[in-house]
Amino acid sequence: MEKNQIVHSCDNCGKIISSQTLPLSSGTTIISAGINGPKVAKIPVVLGEREIQIDVEAVFKLNEPFFEIKRIKKNVYLTQCKLLPRSGVIAADGTLISGKLFISGFVRKNIEYATADCVEKEVVSGRIAHTTIDVPFTAVTEVVYAVPPVVNVRGAQTEIDLLNSCGCQDCTGTIIGKSGCEQYLEDNITFTESPYCELEGVRIFEDDISSDPLYHKTNSNVQLYNKVTEKMVIYIRLKVLQLQQVNIPYIRYCDSDCDE
């Protein structure tokens, strides 16, 4: 064996449990069929699209004092996106012009930072650690409708007074009037499809300021930090949709010699 050669022992290098090549399975192409002529489809309709600016300032601590932040990876998640369809502007003819949209969520941040485990006069050594935090946000915005939502309002309850000549006791025929023991009620309820949101895209601008400094006891030129003050501007692009019935007309395509 040559000098300075390093030999690694391996008790278990792993093994292949199974492997096989799968043949191509034959199949039959099926042509989709549908009804001819004008159609009525229930499909998602875009009520409006909005890019919302949310400004957030947060202060947080990492798992331990840190020397430097190396990288921050971010993702945005929505926990609420609720439209109040009749809470905005309504035209004189009753047409819905806009509605208020309530959104909530959080920015999940995976922060990679450097520690200072070993500090000498001219050298700082440490680990690359990470902490994941969720920074919450809440906002309200107004969505101008490209297509008004379909909203069905519950009708007023109606009551029918029943005539009864017997009352609720003896049927003597001496009392004629409204029945006191029977009511006839009518309610008119038409349900509304609930609008929902789709998250289209996100832009995030941020400034992270290390704060609450600590000076290392063996080297006063090495400064550690306990906290991070974060200022974020988040732009969230949303689509608000609702299932609606849409008429799809039949379009006839003719050659130049078609009769008009």
Those residues whose C-beta lies under 8 Å from the C-beta of residue 184, and which sit 6 or more positions away, are: 159, 160, 161, 162
Higher pLDDT, 47 or 166: 47
Please report, rounded to a whole number, the percentage of residues in the chain having pLDDT higher than 90: 42
pTM: 0.74
| Other residues' Cβ atoms within 10 Å of the Cβ of residue 51 | 13
Q: How far apart are CA 34 and CA 47, in angstroms?
A: 27
| Other residues' Cβ atoms within 10 Å of the Cβ of residue 67 | 21
Per-residue pLDDT tens digits for 25-71: 888 877 877 777 788 889 999 999 999 999 999 998 888 888 889 99
Tokens of 61: 């601590």
Q: Which of 66, 55, 46, 175 is nearest to 114 (CA)?
A: 66
Q: How far apart are CA 80 and CA 72, in angstroms?
A: 25
Per-residue pLDDT tens digits for 91-150: 999 899 999 999 999 999 999 998 887 777 777 788 888 899 999 999 999 999 999 999
Q: Which of 110, 100, 197 is nearest to 144 (CA)?
A: 100
Q: Which CA distances in Å does 155 have to 73, 79, 113, 148, 191?
A: 51, 32, 60, 20, 11
